[in-house]
A = this chain, B = another copy of it.
Amino acid sequence: MKIAFIGLGAMGYPMARHLAKQHELRVWNRTRSVAERFAGEERCTLAASLDECADAAAIITIVPTSREVDEIVDEIAPRLREGTLWIDCTSGDPVTSRQTARRLGELGVELVDAPVTGGTPGAEAGSLTVMIGGSEGGFRRAEEICRAFGKKIIHVGEVGFGHAIKAASNTMLAANMWAAAECLLSLKKMGMDLKTAFEVINAGSGRSNASENLLPKRILDGEWPVTFKLGLLDKDVRIAASTAHAQHLSLPLLSLTSQLYTAAHHALGGEADYIEAVKYAARMSGEEW
């Protein structure tokens, strides 16, 4: 199939590599040199401009935010062909996605939102989880294509729902991690050995992915690798917060979590690893890990 792939970032690059093995791929990237390298390595076509992506049977986007997706739509809308499937793997926001889907729908192009989880390792192994929002038919078509880089491909409902569940899931991660950090901080200050603390916590009902798999390596072993950018987690939590706002819900814990990650983002920079946010949590009490 003729597929256009837009966005060769840390996730997009390895995802596109899997697609290149099965499809006639055309790639585009904002920083052109990356696209050139990819085209050379994978022997696929380099799009001279975004316009050259418009006539593919499927267009895949994976860019920083829904705003960039919208700008790409603006640019190539006039050349899009009826019947094209647009798979947006961006971690975007549901409200914007629905509007974009409507615009594209008027041109006969179906948008499905298809954010992924599993990190760079999952992208490289082709074992990502893909959360797809869209019609039954759109899901079927997207599923076949996403199979190249995804292992678990789930139809989560209408357009926008993929983004919504991704944001919600990362917000739970963010809240669980911060809450664990605050509790651990109090135990540490009291003089408790944190290795013992993790043992007890992870044998009990307060355990979470954050307490079991993410925090011990950092807090006990002092290793703080960059695995996912804080700026991106902050963005996801902000998406969950603005989605809740649009629904007129009262969600005090989500809302405070969002403010805290934004503060951590401002203090540590968006390039820091997302788990470093717990350093900021400690700093609020004049402590460090």
Q: Give A residues with C-beta under 8 Å from B.
A: 94, 117, 129, 131, 152, 154-158, 160-161, 164-165, 168-173, 175-176, 178-180, 182-187, 189-193, 196-197, 199-201, 203-211, 214, 238, 240-245, 247-260, 262-263, 266-267, 283-287
Of chain B, the residue at the smallest CB distance from A152 is B203
How many angstroms between the C-alpha atoms of A160 and B192 in the bound complex?
10
Can you name 14 A-B pairs with beta carbons within 8 Å? Answer: A154-B200, A164-B187, A168-B183, A168-B184, A168-B206, A172-B176, A205-B209, A205-B214, A238-B248, A250-B259, A250-B260, A252-B260, A263-B284, A263-B285
User: If A190-B243, A206-B173 touch, does A200 touch B165 (CB 8 Å cutoff)?
Assistant: yes
Taking a contact as CB atoms under 8 Å apart, the answer to whether A211 and B164 are in contact is no
Taking a contact as CB atoms under 8 Å apart, the answer to whether A285 and B249 are in contact is yes
Residues of the B chain whose Cβ atoms lie less than 8 Å from the Cβ of A248: 238, 262, 285
Distance (whole angstroms) from the CB of A256 to the closest CB of chain B: 6
User: If A168-B183, A179-B253 touch, does A203 touch B129 (CB 8 Å cutoff)?
Assistant: yes
Taking a contact as CB atoms under 8 Å apart, the answer to whether A255 and B258 are in contact is yes
User: If A206-B173, A249-B189 touch, does A179 touch B117 (CB 8 Å cutoff)?
Assistant: no
Residues of the B chain whose Cβ atoms lie less than 8 Å from the Cβ of A178: 253
How many angstroms between the C-alpha atoms of A160 and B186 in the bound complex?
13
Residues of the B chain whose Cβ atoms lie less than 8 Å from the Cβ of A199: 154
Most B CB contacts (10 A, CB to CB) among A131, A171, A214, A249 go to: A249
Taking a contact as CB atoms under 8 Å apart, the answer to whether B285 and A170 are in contact is no
Partner of A168, one of B197, B243, B252: B197
Distance (whole angstroms) from the CB of A154 to the closest CB of chain B: 6
How many angstroms between the C-alpha atoms of A160 and B248 in the bound complex?
22
Residues of the B chain whose Cβ atoms lie less than 8 Å from the Cβ of A251: 182, 185-186, 259, 284-285
Partner of A201, one of B165, B190, B256, B263: B165
